[in-house]
Structure 1
Amino acid sequence: MDQHNLPQMIDEMRQVHIQEGFPRIDIRMDRLERAKKLLLENRDQLLAAINADFGHRNAYQGLATDVLASVALLDNAKHQLSEWMKREVVSNPFDGMKTEIQYQPLGVVGIISPWNFPLNLAFGPLAGVFAAGNRAVIKPSELTPRTSELLAQLVPQYFDKNELRIVTGDADVGAAFSSLAFDHLIFTGSTTVGKHVMRAAAENLVPVTLELGGKSPVVLTEHFDLKTAVERILTVKTFNAGQICIAPDYVMMPESFNSVFIEHAQNFMQDIYGGGFFANDDFTSIINDKHFARLLTLLEDAKAKGATLLTLGQESKISDQTTRKIAPTLVFDVTDDMLIMQEEIFGPLLPIKNLQCVDDAIAYINEHPRPLAAYYFDGRADQQQYFSEKTISGGLVINDVMTHVMIDSLPFGGIGASGIGAYHGIHGFRRFSHAKAVVIQSVNGESNQRLRAPYAEKFVATQAMLNQS
């Protein structure tokens, strides 16, 4: 679509939204069901498109995280919708007055989705958008062009153009999209781009939800089984080749853990990948040449500044240009002047920062931008609570990584540099709704009468009441 036609498209959708009024529950549920059908009925085509866009990504990863996880959010919204839509009665200080909160649709919501989970991060927020009674326009990533074009073909088969549309295009289209006068805009992507999106949205005072990233830390203590911790960390760090916004970005642990950590890591990679990655059907390619080169630059920079690299598995080299795969690599002896400790990694590279105590790790986390997620391994309940109270992050998982995003009833979102706002479940419904205060005045209108002149007697009575309290 020509970016110059985008404002007209949004205006048309908004006018239809106003004319048709707030959609009934059956209409909302039907939209959620059609979104679900789109994913399930076309899953083979969609998974093939994702695989082609990545160069290689196992179909199971897409089925589990892009299709089924999205369907779970859509189903959950359907099942809970009648409860979410109820008017919320609140107490008030005046007899006979009725006060409540009504959750109303915002209107037309823009969704800018990224490439790493091109269906999940489009249809996940869409569940909340549709449940709240809105219409939506999705701008999928230009880095997954086959998936984006397929969505552009499929959506009109399931939705009227004023219910849901897909806008494809490059970064210029994305910039134009973020400057449109939406009623709400949700962006998932990097912190750097998120700043541009927020700046553009501000021109029209468009409220934003920003799901960004940052460097999600892992803290290991001696009070949790190290083998189990390593396996749980590397499961997620190698899933989708670590191209996940809440993947573990670096580990903080005592130096005495290093040799055992390495042993468990090597054994685990052998167990689940057979020690090889480049020809392995289960291991995902890096999305494109640019990101592939960026990850290798992180390693080269770290090595040049004194880091020690340890490639896991049995490959004779770290990377393979033909398959665009990079073997999982541990990076020891890291310092803060290394790029790998400054940038979000988004790949299968795992820096290890040796710190001797948890308080040092907490101080390090708090000295840096607030992460989208933090991970803490410790079996002691009092120390779990201590870590939770002393650190600030979008989400916290104890004794595992990434688990929170799989639980639909929990809010998913960041804080500070890692994002603004959250969605999933009722949190998405409310995020994409306007909580309107509604008051029905009592027959005698007490609250109104107390504001009427003359005020002399009212002043004396009010003073006397305050003196008695």
Structure 2
Amino acid sequence: MSGKVATFPRVQSMPSSLSNLLDQARGAFESEPFPTIKTRRQWLETLRLLLVENQQQLREAIDSDFGGRSPMETSLGELLPAIEGIDHHLKYLRFWLQRDNRSPGFSLWPSKAWVEYHPLGVVGVMVPWNYPLYLAIGPLTAALAAGNRVLVKMSEHTPVTSALFARLIGQYFSPAVVQVVQGDAKVAAAFSRLPFDHLVFTGSTAVGRMVMHAASENLTPVTLELGGKSPALIHDDVPLALAAERLLFGKCFNAGQTCVAPDYVLVPKGKGQALAEAMLAGFNRRYPDWQDNSDYSSVINGAQYQRLCGYLDEARGAGCQMLHSGPDRIDSRRRLGLHLIINPPLGLAVMQEEIFGPILPIIEYDNLAQAVAFIRARPKPLAFYPFSFKKKVQRRLLDEIHAGGVCINDTLLQVAAPDLPFGGIGPSGMGHYHGKEGVLSLSKAKPVLKRGRWTLNAMIYPPYTKGALKAFLTWMLR
């Protein structure tokens, strides 16, 4: 997720209120360190009930924070995947947490070995502003399913949603299970320094580095879901009309304020103009009168809006070829139409920073090898969108391009699959949640070796002059 913040505010001491919340959660965990599957299912069913019973209030709160957020996008992009994710956990949790029998190896015979999954303790979750509900519920679901207690820090940029979520959590959950923290960047900085048993952060790469640094003071393990410039690559076997429709969905959903939105697209030489025209026609068809269309969302706040306008001003100043829906911007309501920039200079900010808005650079390439090299020369992205119906091309792109996740011939939807792990790679993040991987990430894989009354231990105890031991080692190390 894009952002200009370079450093957390300095925090001289840990606010006592935060420490008290952590102590309360830790005390609750210590009193019940291994919640039963039945208890965890009850937690998940309660979380589901919270969403279902208050969905209209949640839609209205998010709409208020954005100054215009499509209620249908909130349903599709937040409520639906959150509820589907909970249902998936309820269905499979018992199987994911089953004891995993392992081999102890020949040299430890006779014995048994297995791995069992235990809760970590207290998990911290730091939520961004762009999907303030789904990106709270997703890690919260995994943490509760794993048997942990949870503290959730909501974004200060969505105050209405944050206040509502805090109130609802307080109504539906005991503070011994889940608590919500609100506050500004200073509170976020202090929150990241708490000695959690695990910390999940979703946000920009720059802030992710600071969160990881703060967590390292307590050796707190982190899951970082960041962002970066996620590319799309259109092979010449794909009709531009099809690619344009699917790219448009990924770029304009939530007005492009999505960490896995396509950030630039590579197209065969000579097809950039045609792709831009097809996308612009599709935009005007999907969002007629977009300035007042309730299906189209506003930019979250003035700082983000001015950042996006700065990208456009720089591109215009550089003489870039640009197609856009007119009028291209409505400053009074933070509304920004679709902007397509064809072959911009690579030094522009729009090609250096994550865009996080309805702006899409279109880069033409000569051959597939050149396109692959272009992507590989840049930091590993959170998502990659290859468009090709040729299996050999698909396989080559999957093998040669590293990304946090891939959606072939579409955009965004890999995140909505409840059984697929979600996570970045390198500067786009580390660790996973969603599905089985999320529960296991927030559990301790506890290895157990069990010996019985009779063993061969005596053979390996000193003194090491025993002939049987020498013969055994000679045979094992042959």
Question: TM-score, normalised to structure 2's length?
Answer: 0.94
Of the candidates 51, 57, 70, which is equivalent to residue 63 of structure 2? 51
Q: 2:5 maps to which residue?
A: none
> What is the Cα deviation at residue 443 of structure 1?
2.6
Of the candidates 435, 443, 460, which is equivalent to residue 451 of structure 1? 460
* 2:130 maps to 1:120: no
Residue 42 of structure 1 aligns with an amino acid whose one-letter code is N
Q: Does structure 1 retain, via aligned residues, the 8 Å contact 2:203–2:225?
A: yes
* 2:155 maps to 1:155: no
Q: 2:316 maps to which residue?
A: 303
In the aligned structure 2, how far is the partner of 1:89 from the partner of 1:466?
24
3-state SS in 2 of match to 1:365: helix
1:63-78, aligned counterparts within 5 Å?
63-78=75-90
3-state SS in 2 of match to 1:310: strand
* 2:20 maps to 1:17: no
Q: Deviations over 1:315-359 (max 9, x none)?
A: 2x2110122110001011312210000110000000011111121
In the aligned structure 1, how far is the partner of 2:24 from the partner of 2:387?
52
Of the candidates 264, 289, 298, which is equivalent to residue 302 of structure 2? 289
> What is the Cα deviation at residue 449 of structure 1?
3.1
Count of residues in correspondence between the two structures? 462
In the aligned structure 1, how far is the partner of 2:21 from the partner of 2:455?
45
Q: 1:27 maps to which residue?
A: 39
Q: 1:325 maps to which residue?
A: 335
Q: Does structure 2 retain, via aligned residues, the 8 Å contact 1:219–1:358?
A: no
Residue 368 of structure 2 aligns with an amino acid whose one-letter code is V
Residue 255 of structure 2 aligns with an amino acid whose one-letter code is A
Q: 1:237 maps to which residue?
A: 251
Of the candidates 407, 415, 426, which is equivalent to residue 405 of structure 1? 415
* 2:110 maps to 1:96: yes
Q: Which moved more, 1:87-96 or 1:103-112?
A: 87-96
In the aligned structure 2, how far is the partner of 1:169 from the partner of 1:101?
40
3-state SS in 1 of match to 2:247: helix
1:316-465, aligned counterparts within 5 Å?
317-446=327-456, 448-456=457-465, 457-458=467-468, 460-462=470-472, 464-465=474-475
Q: 2:178 maps to which residue?
A: 164
Q: 2:204 maps to which residue?
A: 190
In the aligned structure 2, how far is the partner of 1:170 from the partner of 1:466?
61
In the aligned structure 2, how far is the partner of 1:449 from the partner of 1:291?
69
In the aligned structure 1, how far is the partner of 2:75 from the partner of 2:123?
26
Q: Does structure 1 retain, via aligned residues, the 8 Å contact 2:280–2:338?
A: no
Label 1:443 to 1:459 Cα distance change in 2 as closer, same or farther (>3 A). Answer: closer
* 2:266 maps to 1:258: no
In the aligned structure 2, how far is the partner of 1:130 from the partner of 1:30?
10
Q: Deviations over 1:60-84 (max 9, x none)?
A: 1111221121111111111111111
In the aligned structure 2, how far is the partner of 1:463 from the partner of 1:29?
50
Q: Does structure 2 retain, via aligned residues, the 8 Å contact 1:252–1:361?
A: yes
> What is the Cα deviation at residue 262 of structure 1?
2.7
Residue 439 of structure 1 aligns with an amino acid whose one-letter code is L
Q: Does structure 2 retain, via aligned residues, the 8 Å contact 1:96–1:443?
A: no
Q: Deviations over 1:227-246 (max 9, x none)?
A: 10110000110110000000
> What is the Cα deviation at residue 96 of structure 1?
3.4
In the aligned structure 1, how far is the partner of 2:44 from the partner of 2:275?
45
Q: 2:231 maps to which residue?
A: 217
Q: 1:138 maps to which residue?
A: 152
In the aligned structure 1, how far is the partner of 2:248 from the partner of 2:342?
16
3-state SS in 1 of match to 2:175: coil
> What is the Cα deviation at residue 463 of structure 1?
5.1
Q: Does structure 2 retain, via aligned residues, the 8 Å contact 1:219–1:252?
A: yes
Over the aligned positions, Cα root-mean-square deviation in angstroms equals 1.4
3-state SS in 2 of match to 1:206: coil
> What is the Cα deviation at residue 458 of structure 1?
4.5
In the aligned structure 1, how far is the partner of 2:76 from the partner of 2:268?
35
In the aligned structure 1, how far is the partner of 2:80 from the partner of 2:234?
32
> What is the Cα deviation at residue 306 of structure 1?
3.1
Residue 461 of structure 2 aligns with an amino acid whose one-letter code is R
Q: Does structure 2 retain, via aligned residues, the 8 Å contact 1:234–1:265?
A: yes
> What is the Cα deviation at residue 140 of structure 1?
0.8
In the aligned structure 1, how far is the partner of 2:133 from the partner of 2:15?
23
> What is the Cα deviation at residue 13 of structure 1?
1.1
In the aligned structure 2, how far is the partner of 1:460 from the partner of 1:89?
31
* 2:41 maps to 1:41: no
3-state SS in 2 of match to 1:398: coil
Q: Which 4+ residue blocks in structure 1 deviate beyond 4 angstroms?
A: none
In the aligned structure 1, how far is the partner of 2:418 from the partner of 2:310?
37
> What is the Cα deviation at residue 117 of structure 1?
0.6
3-state SS in 1 of match to 2:296: coil
Q: Which moved more, 1:430-439 or 1:264-273?
A: 264-273
In the aligned structure 2, how far is the partner of 1:96 from the partner of 1:376?
51
> What is the Cα deviation at residue 254 of structure 1?
2.2
* 2:237 maps to 1:228: no
In the aligned structure 2, how far is the partner of 1:464 from the partner of 1:209?
45
Unaligned runs of 5+ in 2: 1-13
Label 1:260 to 1:138 Cα distance change in 2 as closer, same or farther (>3 A). Answer: same
Q: Does structure 1 retain, via aligned residues, the 8 Å contact 2:81–2:418?
A: no
Q: Does structure 2 retain, via aligned residues, the 8 Å contact 1:221–1:253?
A: yes
Q: 1:176 maps to which residue?
A: 190
Residue 395 of structure 1 aligns with an amino acid whose one-letter code is G
In the aligned structure 2, how far is the partner of 1:418 from the partner of 1:59?
29
Q: Does structure 2 retain, via aligned residues, the 8 Å contact 1:7–1:181?
A: no
3-state SS in 1 of match to 2:407: strand
